[in-house]
Structure 1
Amino acid sequence: MLTSLYIKNYALIDELSVQFNNGLTIITGETGAGKSILLGGLSLVLGKRADISQVKNKDEKCIIEAIFDIANYNLKSLFKSLDLDYDVQTIIRREILPSGKSRAFINDTPVNLESLAALSNYLIDIHSQHQTQQVTQDDYQFQVIDALAENKSNLNDFAKELVEYKAIQKSLEELKLSKAELIKEYDYNLFLSKELNEIDIENINLEDLEAQYEELNNVEEIGEKLSSAKAILSAEDIGITDQLNSVKLELIKIADYGNAYDALKERILSVGIELDDILIELDNLEENLSSDPQELERINSKLQVINNLFQKHSVLDIEELVVIKNDLRLKIDNTESLDNTILLNEKHVLKQQEKLNKIALEIHENRKKVIPVFVSKLESILSDLGMPNAKFKIELNQIDYFVSNGKDDLQFLFTANKGSSFNALKKSASGGELSRIMLAVKSILAEYVQLPSIMFDEIDTGVSGEISNKMGDIMKKMSGKMQVFTITHLPQIAAKGNSHFKVFKTDVEDVTHTQLRKLNEEERIVEIAQMLGGIDITDSAMAHAKQLLN
């Protein structure tokens, strides 16, 4: 509940400090006295955007501070999620600086307006004439029915499962799109992979292959050169081998005459051995040398294929082709296995749909059970509020797709007169009727859930007499379970309050100021008497005021 409100340098308010109690609090005042200023200041502390034009003295900062007792609101988890220090006496403060910038604090911790609004939803509901239209909106109508149906746990479960369902659906859609793209490339990738597989790319040694090609392509020249080299080495009398033997014999003769000569002899002997080996190798090469046009053609074709693949894939070596081959295989495998993945995801989607359908059905059945009870209570209250012929028909129909709160379509249909057909509430109820409907709805809700403090801003507009008395009774009853404020012009309602505040203006040195004062018993009698008969108070008005208060 709101326990105190402090306002400084806001609109026509210099400085104002007021404490509030539980129960029904009445706020009265003449038109234009500044009740809207009070609401504006309270709205700022609840998260409304600030405006420098609202500051009275532009050279000083504006401060609005509210203290709430939240011991019974179960808000510890909310404070934790907002990373705020929890205190049963929670202080919210807004400041508007002369620069036009504004700041917000919860328990002295700076917060943004989103966090402030998130908390304020649980603290106080300012119900203006504009907000009466809320009762015609689908979201609010669902909130009312679900509160009575105690669907909170089911709705939380549904929301959690719906998030997972949407994530799976999105994944499935992405897989199907991927499949469509991959199928376009599949045949081409398969063709490229087949090309690389046909030449067994991993087992090719390009250097060896090129050497084999050069040998086969030049076999005749190689044979001639080998034969010529053999002749040069082994020809009689003039061959290198014979000449070397002659040198070797001469050096053997002088080898004993010194180390230098012996070393030359050894070197010649080594050269002789090497030349003998070379002759043997030349014989072997010449003997094994053969012409093979078919093998030459095969190797030539293979080299052409490899070079073509180099050009096609813009690479320079076999290793890069192997990488490309592996990538192609992976793409092909992914395409071929995608159907299985899609099938698994489709099964997952169906399983999630079953979960959601089960929870949605429970939500639907709970709603279905409470609607007749709600309609009965609503019509009974409206009858007391001067709408004896008001009838409601609430249609709850299951739909074949998921929405954020289940699988239902909900319509509030209304008629205010006998013999008239039902129509959508937003089209068939007048402003005054909507005000009474909203009051009736709030009073019913107060029986089922812990509502935050509520402030009714002239919800009694357009009613009088016995109806206003009934409205006061309803608000009085609500105040037994929650803190209720009402701004009113009706004495019948004002007399119902546990406490009574008056908003008024004073002129000091040609400057108008708005003030708020709690009335004592005598002041309250006078205020209600003025509400009954005007500024000139009569004895009968005073007697009537006392009677209402008693």
Structure 2
Amino acid sequence: MLTKLSIKNFALIDALQVDFDKGLTIITGETGAGKSILLGGLALILGKRADLSSLKDKELKCVIEAEFSIKKYQLTKFFTENDLDYDDDTIIRREILPSGKSRAFVNDVPVRLDVLNALGDQLIDIHSQHQTLQLTDNQFQFQVIDILANVSEEVQSYQSILKSYHSTQKELKKIQEEKIDLEKEYDYNMFLLKELEEAKLEGLVLDDLEAQYERLNNAEDIKTNLSSSEQILSDEQVGVLNLLSELQAASGKLAGIAPEFKNLAERIKSSYIELDDIYNEIINLQEEVTFDPELFAEVSEKLQKIFDLQKKHQVLTIEELLSIQHELSEKASVSENIDTLIQTKEKELQAQQKQLQQLAKTIHDKRAAGIPTLVQQLESMLATLGMPNAQFDINVQLSKEFYANGMDDLQFLFSANKGGNFNELKKAASGGELSRVMLCIKAILSKYMQLQTIMFDEIDTGVSGEVANKMANIMQQMSKTMQVFSITHLPQIAAKGKQHFKVYKQDINEVTSTQLKELNQEERIQEIAQMLSGATISDSALANAKELLQS
């Protein structure tokens, strides 16, 4: 509920601060006194766009601030989703700067206007004859029926499954499109995959293959050089080992003559041992080195194949070729199994479709069962508001389409006159009649759910007498469970208020400003008497005003 409102430098208002109570609050005032200015200020709080014309003093900023008690509105999720600080007593502030820029805050956190507008929709419902077009909106009509039919849980479940259903539809369409693309590429991908698989790349090391190729390609040169090396080491006349053996013998004699030659002898002996070991290794290598034409051809072919594949796929390593092979293998697997995947998705879609149809049938049945109650309450309430012949023809028909709230097509038809033809509300009802229908609907809904604050802006235009009394009673009854504002010209409605404010203009230093004042009991008597008799208040008007306030 709206608990506080502060307006500074807005239109004809210099500064205004007021506290509101729960229940029915009445706002009265002469035509042109500024009631629309008050609504304009509230509209800015609710997210309406602003401009410089809103400023009373163009050199100062305009500030409008409202405090709401929102504990009963279950808005914690909304605040979390929009990164706002939640507080049971939430403050919304709009500022319009002289530059023309506008800022909005919720609990001192800056917000965009679309967020403010979405929040405002859940806090205040400003209702005038112009807003009655909402009645003709199919979505609103469904909301009314669903509240009375108590199908909110079923509709939420339906919407959750419908979301999954649409997601599955998209997935199936994507897979079907992939199948078409895969079928186009399948043969070529399989050719590339087979080519890579035949290369048997797993476990291959390119450096090892290249080294093996060089050994095989140069086998004769290797063998010749090894043989020459063996000859140099082992020749009986000039072989290095024979000469080194003689050197070793000589150094051994020297070591026996004097100790200083011992180290030299040891070094010569080590060199002989190392060269002898080299000689033996050369002998072994000579036995291992052979030229194998078949193996050489095989290695040459494998290397060429790898180089060709690297060039074709524009990569530099065997690892990259193996990665491509893996991708092609996965594509082939997907292509071969895609029909199975499509069948699985189709079964999933059919199961979700069956769930939706079952839930939609439950929703339909509950709606159909709740409609007579709505019709009865509407027609009964409208009869008390001077529309005794008002009749509704409301029915739902199951369709084959999955809509956002079920599978129902809704007809919400109305006839204002006895024997008249039923037609759509916007065609069959006048503006005043639509206002009374909306009042009745809001009154009925208030019995079934916690509605936000509602402000009726002169919806009683064209109403008088006993009908005005009945309208006042309906608003008063609604105010027992919610906060209700009524901007009215009717004394019968004004007298029912728990609080009563008067909007009026005041000239100060030849400057006109709009004021809002809460009336005490005596002031209320005077105001209602004036509403009854005009500027000149008669004794009978005063007596009538007192009677109205006591009723």
Partner of 1:128: 128
Partner of 2:20: 20
Partner of 2:434: 434
Q: CA deviation at 1:440?
A: 1.3
Q: CA deviation at 1:134?
A: 0.8
Code of the residue aligned with 2:213 in structure 1: it is E
Partner of 2:363: 363
Partner of 1:9: 9
CA distance in 2, matches of 1:191, 1:150: 62
Q: How many residue pairs align between the two structures?
A: 535
Q: CA deviation at 1:434?
A: 1.1
Specify whether residues 384 and 271 from structure 1 end up closer, same or farther in structure 2 by C-alpha distance, changes over 3 A only: closer
Code of the residue aligned with 2:87 in structure 1: it is Y
1:449 and 2:449 aligned: yes
Partner of 2:257: none
Q: CA deviation at 1:37?
A: 0.6
CA distance in 2, matches of 1:405, 1:108: 36
Give per-residue Cα distances to partners, 1:131-152, cap 9 Å, x unaligned: 1111111221121111112223
Superposed CA RMSD in Å reads 4.1
1:191 and 2:191 aligned: yes
Partner-residue secondary structure (3-state), 2:414: strand
Code of the residue aligned with 1:86 in structure 2: it is D
Partner of 2:209: 206
Give the conservation status (yes or no) of the 8 Å contact 1:244–1:268: no
Code of the residue aligned with 1:452 in structure 2: it is Q
Give per-residue Cα distances to partners, 1:37-90, cap 9 Å, x unaligned: 111122223333343321212333333333444455455565566542433x44
Partner-residue secondary structure (3-state), 1:201: coil
Partner of 1:174: 174
Partner-residue secondary structure (3-state), 2:202: helix
Partner of 1:32: 32
Counting only pairs closer than 5 Å after superposition, residues 137-152 of structure 1 correspond to structure 2 as 137-152=137-152
Specify whether residues 265 and 252 from structure 1 end up closer, same or farther in structure 2 by C-alpha distance, changes over 3 A only: farther
Partner of 1:153: 153
Code of the residue aligned with 1:510 in structure 2: it is E
Partner of 2:473: 473
Which 10-residue stretch deviates more, 435-444 or 40-49?
40-49
Specify whether residues 64 and 340 from structure 1 end up closer, same or farther in structure 2 by C-alpha distance, changes over 3 A only: same
Counting only pairs closer than 5 Å after superposition, residues 298-337 of structure 1 correspond to structure 2 as 304-337=304-337
Unaligned runs of 5+ in 1: 235-239
CA distance in 2, matches of 1:135, 1:66: 28
Code of the residue aligned with 1:519 in structure 2: it is L
Partner-residue secondary structure (3-state), 2:309: helix
Task: Tell me the TM-score normalized by structure 2.
Answer: 0.81
Specify whether residues 333 and 456 from structure 1 end up closer, same or farther in structure 2 by C-alpha distance, changes over 3 A only: same
Specify whether residues 94 and 105 from structure 1 end up closer, same or farther in structure 2 by C-alpha distance, changes over 3 A only: same
Partner of 1:503: 503
Partner of 1:84: 85
Give the conservation status (yes or no) of the 8 Å contact 2:158–2:359: yes
Q: CA deviation at 1:425?
A: 1.8
Partner-residue secondary structure (3-state), 1:202: coil
Partner of 2:44: 44
Q: CA deviation at 1:475?
A: 1.7
Counting only pairs closer than 5 Å after superposition, residues 178-327 of structure 1 correspond to structure 2 as 178-202=178-202, 206-207=209-210, 210-211=213-214, 214=217, 241=235, 244=238, 256=250, 304-327=304-327
Q: CA deviation at 1:375?
A: 1.0
Identity %: 51
Partner-residue secondary structure (3-state), 2:15: strand
Give the conservation status (yes or no) of the 8 Å contact 1:241–1:272: no
Which 10-residue stretch deviates more, 535-544 or 184-193?
535-544
Specify whether residues 501 and 303 from structure 1 end up closer, same or farther in structure 2 by C-alpha distance, changes over 3 A only: closer
Q: CA deviation at 1:118?
A: 4.4
Give per-residue Cα distances to partners, 1:376-420, cap 9 Å, x unaligned: 111222222222332211221223333332222223112223444
Unaligned runs of 5+ in 2: 255-260
Partner-residue secondary structure (3-state), 1:363: helix
1:408 and 2:408 aligned: yes
Specify whether residues 310 and 547 from structure 1 end up closer, same or farther in structure 2 by C-alpha distance, changes over 3 A only: closer
Partner-residue secondary structure (3-state), 1:439: helix
Code of the residue aligned with 1:194 in structure 2: it is K
Give the conservation status (yes or no) of the 8 Å contact 2:378–2:441: yes
Partner-residue secondary structure (3-state), 2:450: coil
Partner of 2:258: none
Give the conservation status (yes or no) of the 8 Å contact 1:385–1:436: yes
Q: CA deviation at 1:158?
A: 3.2
Partner of 1:237: none
CA distance in 1, matches of 2:548, 2:240: 152
CA distance in 1, matches of 2:3, 2:383: 35
Task: Tell me the TM-score normalized by structure 1.
Answer: 0.81
Partner of 2:532: 532
Specify whether residues 296 and 31 from structure 1 end up closer, same or farther in structure 2 by C-alpha distance, changes over 3 A only: same
Q: CA deviation at 1:514?
A: 0.9
CA distance in 1, matches of 2:36, 2:310: 82
CA distance in 1, matches of 2:71, 2:101: 32
Give the conservation status (yes or no) of the 8 Å contact 2:41–2:64: yes
Partner of 2:372: 372
Give per-residue Cα distances to partners, 1:499-522, cap 9 Å, x unaligned: 432211122222111112233444
1:381 and 2:381 aligned: yes
Q: CA deviation at 1:272?
A: 10
Partner-residue secondary structure (3-state), 2:462: coil
